[in-house]
Amino acid sequence: MAEGLTSVPCNLCGTTTSRPFTRRQGFTVVACDACGLVYVNPRVPLERITEHYNGNESSRIQYYLDAEAADRRSFAEVLARAEALLGAPGDLLDVGPNVGTCLELARERGWRGRGIELNADAARHCRDVRRLDVVTGTLEDAPFPAASFDGILMGDVIEHLPDPQDALRRVASLLRPGGVVLVSTPDIGRWAARALQVKPLEHLYYYSRETMGRALGQAGLEVVEIVPFDRHKNLTGMTHSTTCGTLFQRLAPLFRLARRAFGDLVVRFPLRENLLAVARRPRAA
């Protein structure tokens, strides 16, 4: 094992045996022999992960500000699913809201939103610029009583967490009976995610429809649906993307030229790159 890296068992079933899945950026990605969960092993220690998200290395604030036009379309679809299941907007928790685009949209739609954000600068932006109720930290130390929320969003978050199964159990405890959680993440069962989303410095876990369903059930949640979900993208935001290495950064002058000619184009590539999992806390024990 490389110096400074930590070996971990499977987060879903606890098995310690695995087989190689791929190798990227100097890290080994494995698949659990027992349940098939794909994850980085060994990986950097927890304190290094926290530094990564507070050191402007990825999930940069400017990226999310520039991607807002596209993100609002994606988040509108997610919120509409939650509203259809619940019947009306209610109390919402956004786990990892970054600059608060989704929470601001939710407020416009009638939700009472709160957020928990690891990136201290992003959480401060939510509070100071958008006047959103967002605290800095993680789900483990979030100051929310049990059964506080009707809906919880985890948009492109679970793959970054050092202990996603514990986070899902925490989510289940924060939901009211009948409340829903919506989780979006790369679908490692699809070629596009395998080609574009294996980024071991950022993404520690990689779910398929099968392992995501098992993870939600193991956390005490009832799966409503797991469907393909491709997010909208816009040219301005894509210039910051770490997908495809530095390709999009190198294409930035071309994107800026296209934006001047045609406006900030919003596109949706039908790659089935991500999945959207919707689950509900049972109404009765």
- H helices of 3-90, in order, are 46-53, 61-66, 68-86
CA distances from 43 to 126, 160, 175 (A): 30, 12, 31
The residues, ordered by sequence, that sit 6+ positions from 9 with a Cβ below 8 Å of its Cβ are 15, 16
Would you place residue 266 in the very low, low, confident or very high pLDDT band (cuts 50, 70, 90)? confident
- Say what the pLDDT of residue 39 is: 98
pLDDT of residue 153 exceeding 90, the answer is: yes
Would you place residue 45 in the very low, low, confident or very high pLDDT band (cuts 50, 70, 90)? confident
Residue range 215-225: mean pLDDT, rounded: 98
- Say what the pLDDT of residue 63 is: 83
Hey, what CATH topology would domain 58-190+201-232+268-280 get? Rossmann fold (3.40.50)
Q: Where are the beta strands (DSSP E) in the chain?
A: 18-24, 27-32, 38-40, 91-95, 112-117, 133-136, 149-155, 175-186, 205-206, 222-228, 233-234, 266-267, 274-280
The tens digit of pLDDT for each residue in 55-100 reads 655 557 888 898 899 999 999 999 999 999 999 999 999 999 999 9
What is the Cα 43 distance to its own chain's centre? 19
Residue range 42-55: mean pLDDT, rounded: 75
pLDDT of residue 7 exceeding 60, the answer is: yes
CB atoms within 10 A of CB 250: 11
**What phi and psi, each to the nearest 5 degrees, are found at residue 112?**
-100, 100
Residue range 217-239: mean pLDDT, rounded: 89
Question: Which residue in 227, 191, 200 sits closest to 212, CA to CA?
Answer: 227
CA–CA dist 206, 29 (Å, integer): 9
Residue range 267-284: mean pLDDT, rounded: 94
Would you place residue 257 in the very low, low, confident or very high pLDDT band (cuts 50, 70, 90)? low
> Which of 59-73, 167-181, 226-240 is the least confident region?
226-240
CA–CA dist 165, 185 (Å, integer): 14
Task: Give one DSSP letter per residue of 155-180, joined into a string.
Answer: ET-GGG-S-HHHHHHHHHHHEEEEEE
Specify the 3-state DSSP secondary structure of 28: strand
User: Furthest-apart CA pair in the chain: how many Å?
Assistant: 58
What is the Cα 95 distance to its own chain's centre? 8
Place of tokens 């935001």: 237
